[in-house]
């Protein structure tokens, strides 16, 4: 038997692993991802993954970062000529859209950017755009944080989907105002999107009041 000239093409790569892990997370949930199942989906044995990632957690981090990378940041570019408020509005929607395409990975994303490049790029863009718009650094940090709270909170658990679809679960003597709550689950998307838009508008309206107080009222110089 002749010797191989070189080890033939590797069966695995970081990208292939991340892609397969993402698909598994999306279709079966975070809890369904085990190193053995993921490896099987890739046609290899479990321990092979450890040649490319140090831990299973690092794989999930990479999946989360791939989702962060899909968030549109173009509205924050200096050349875009956007005011801070409308940029924040569009970015929040883009962020929420990215997360709602892959809701199962949100708990991993909630751990924060850490050392994930795409997560850090998001934080960098928001902070940069807010300071550029005249917000003091401490306020720019707070805006990045509070927007993250709201967007992540809306993605980590659906409001409407958190209620069971069973009228008997809402005894009127215990919960006098929840007589219609059993209808929430089937209007899930509508309810959650309405709440997100209402909350986002309120948040931006409230911040605009603060920004006016900062730069002086529009009519008062």
Closest CB to DNA among 3 and 177?
3
3-class state of residue 75 by DSSP: helix
Dihedral-angle region of residue 171 (phi above 0 means left; psi in -120 to 50 means alpha; beta otherwise):
beta
Contact indicator for 129, 121 with CB cutoff of 8 Å: no
- Asked if residue 61 lies in contact with residue 17, where contact means CB atoms within 8 angstroms, the answer is no
Say whether residue 149 binds DNA (CB under 7 A). Answer: no
Shortest gap between Cβ of 6 and DNA (angstroms)? 9
Which residues neighbour 36 within 8 Å (Cβ) at sequence distance 6 or greater? 46
Is 48 a binding residue for DNA by CB under 7 A? The answer is yes
Under the binding rule (CB under 8 A), the answer on residue 134 touching its own copies is: no
Choices 6-14, 18-26, 42-50, 151-159; region in contact with its own copies by CB under 8 A: 151-159
Candidate ranges 33-41, 46-54, 83-91, 125-133; the one touching its own copies (CB under 8 A): 125-133
22's CB contacts (< 8 A; 6+ apart) are 63, 66, 67, 102, 105
DSSP one-letter code for 32:
G
Residue 136: which of its own copies, DNA, none does it interact with, CB under 5 to 8 A by kind? Answer: none
d(CA 116, CA 70): 13
Residues between 11 and 40 that touch DNA (CB under 7 A): 11-12, 33-37, 39
Q: How many C-beta neighbours within 10 Å does residue 27 have?
A: 9
Q: For its own copies, what does the binding mask look like between residues 72 and 111, x meaning CB under 8 A?
A: -----------------------------------x--xx
Binding site for DNA (CB under 7 A): 4, 7, 10-12, 33-37, 39, 44-48, 50-52, 54-57
Binding site for its own copies (CB under 8 A): 107, 110-115, 117, 120-121, 123-125, 127-128, 131, 137-139, 141-146, 148-154, 156-164, 169-170, 174-178, 180-181, 184, 191-192, 194-196, 198-199, 201-207, 209-210
């Amino acid at each position: 038997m002749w010797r191989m000239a070189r080890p033939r093409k590797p069966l695995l790569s970081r990208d292939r692993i991340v892609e397969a892990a993402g698909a598994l997370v999306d279709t079966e949930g975070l809890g369904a991802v085990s190193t053995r199942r993921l490896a099987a989906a890739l046609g290899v044995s479990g321990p092979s993954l450890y040649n490319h990632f140090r831990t299973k957690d690092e794989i999930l981090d990479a999946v989360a970062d791939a989702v962060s990378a899909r968030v549109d940041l173009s509205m924050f570019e200096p050349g875009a000529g956007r005011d801070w408020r409308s940029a924040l509005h569009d970015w929040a929607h883009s962020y929420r859209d990215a997360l709602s395409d892959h809701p199962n990975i949100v708990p991993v994303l909630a751990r924060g950017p850490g050392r994930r490049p795409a997560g850090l790029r998001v934080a960098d863009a928001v902070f940069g755009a807010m300071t550029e718009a005249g917000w003091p650094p401490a306020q720019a940090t707070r805006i990045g944080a509070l927007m993250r709270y709201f967007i992540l909170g809306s993605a980590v658990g659906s409001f409407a989907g958190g209620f069971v679809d069973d009228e008997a679960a809402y005894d009127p003597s215990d919960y006098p105002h929840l007589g219609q709550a059993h209808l929430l689950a089937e209007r899930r998307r509508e309810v959650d999107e309405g709440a997100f838009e209402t909350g986002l508008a309120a948040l931006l309206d409230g911040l605009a009041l603060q920004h006016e107080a900062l730069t002086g009222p529009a009519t008062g110089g």
